[in-house]
Copies of this chain bind each other. A is one copy, B any other.
Amino acid sequence: MKFVIHRDKLVQSVQDVMKAVSSRTTIPILTGIKIVAHSEGVTLTGSDSDVSIESFIPTEEDGNEIVEIIQTGSIVLQARFFSEIVKKLPMDLVEIEVGNHHSTIIRSGKAEFSLIGLDAEEYPLLPQIEEENLFKIPTDLLKTMIRQTVFAVSTSETRPILTGVNWKLENNELICIATDSHRLALRKAPITAENQSSYNVVIPGKSLNELSKILDDTNELIEIVITENQVLFKAKNLLFFSRLLDGNYPDTSRLIPNESKTNMTINSKDFLQAIDRASLLAKEARNNVVKLSTLSGGTVEISSNSPEIGKVSEEIQTADITGEELKISFSAKYVMDALKALEGTEINVNFTGAMRPFVIRATNDDSILQLILPVRTY
């Protein structure tokens, strides 16, 4: 294998596939990056066996030569060293050449590295995925849907299925749901599917976080293929594979109340900042809990009290409040997470008494819903 490549393109691709490489793998060859040079360009692969990322660098892009393939072939190089090396090479062009016994020369300007490589034949094959049933979604919408749900997954392995986001596709609508059993985030969007397929799968939160990091902010369509135990995201020059979580995701639809007793419309930023301030004293005591009390004149009070440190209270004016009087306590962190995920400046909060879950929605937008369980304080 021998090729000459533009350093910047190589650095970008290496960074992308590095997202899948873990130093704590039990399969030694997966600490490496697989490099394949073929007539159309160079393909890099990184994997931790849960997530695999393949990045393709074409020989030519927009009429400019990016890679010159001198001899096709393949090699696996230690990811940590290879990624550090390419970042620090002195010149714009890099030559990579495999010699005897997988020894690989990386040359740029007068700097010459010789790395001990591994046989690419030993590298595990990526999942073979039949691309019969695929659906498409704009990349930026996908990133938004991930951002608005993935924060609510469970970080505890007690119920592993809750560490993933439930993706349901039905009737040309994609619904993403995450819950850690204290709060729930739901986001839906219409989808262009080629046929009337329906899916109900659970994608690890960690995979979605990594995917989100390497996707560009573009409205180009990304293709999604779901199989029994894998999901594949296909963007331009990039394949992202993730395994799916085994097991049935709980039915969350009956958690969402369809009636309410106190309804509030409020500026999202004012509400967020008041809770943020009240949580400053709550961080120490009682697990970050703040209290909301309805007052007269359309105002609510956000307060918190830590006997050893002090107390804080703040009145905020709502745009509208109707229904029963209410005093309710909740995790400041959960409500702040939910408010940050919502787009739009005005939100509706629907309460059903101090002991029942409450729902936050953006005004005039039913595509997103955040549900929070209150905290008992007496």
Contact = CB atoms under 8 A, between A and B. Distances in A.
Interface of A: 78, 81, 84-85, 88-90, 103-104, 110-116, 273-274, 276-277, 280-281, 308-316
Given A111-B274, A116-B309, A84 B314 contact: no
Given A88-B280, A113-B280, 8 more contacts: A78-B309, A81-B310, A88-B276, A88-B277, A114-B311, A115-B309, A116-B309, A116-B310
Contact of A84 (B81, B111, B280, B310): B280
Contacts of A274: 111
Contacts of A276: 88
A81 B304 CA distance: 14
B81 A314 contact: no
Contacts of A308: 116
Given A81-B281, A280-B81, A281-B81, A310 B88 contact: no
A309 B81 contact: yes
The complex is assembled from copies of this chain, and their number is: 2
Contacts of A310: 81, 103-104, 113-116
5 contacts: A81-B280, A103-B310, A110-B316, A113-B310, A116-B309
A312 B114 contact: yes
Contacts of A89: 277
Chain B CB count within 10 A is highest, among A84, A110, A116, A315, for A110
5 shortest A-B CB distances, which residue pairs? A115-B310, A111-B314, A113-B312, A114-B310, A110-B315
A167 to B, nearest CB: 37
A85 to B, nearest CB: 6
A274 to B, nearest CB: 7
A89 B277 CA distance: 7
Contacts of A84: 280
Contacts of A281: 81, 113
A25 to B, nearest CB: 18
Contacts of A85: 277, 280
Contacts of A280: 81, 84-85, 88, 113
Nearest to A104: B310
A84 B279 CA distance: 11
Contacts of A90: 273, 277
Contacts of A103: 310
Nearest to A85: B280
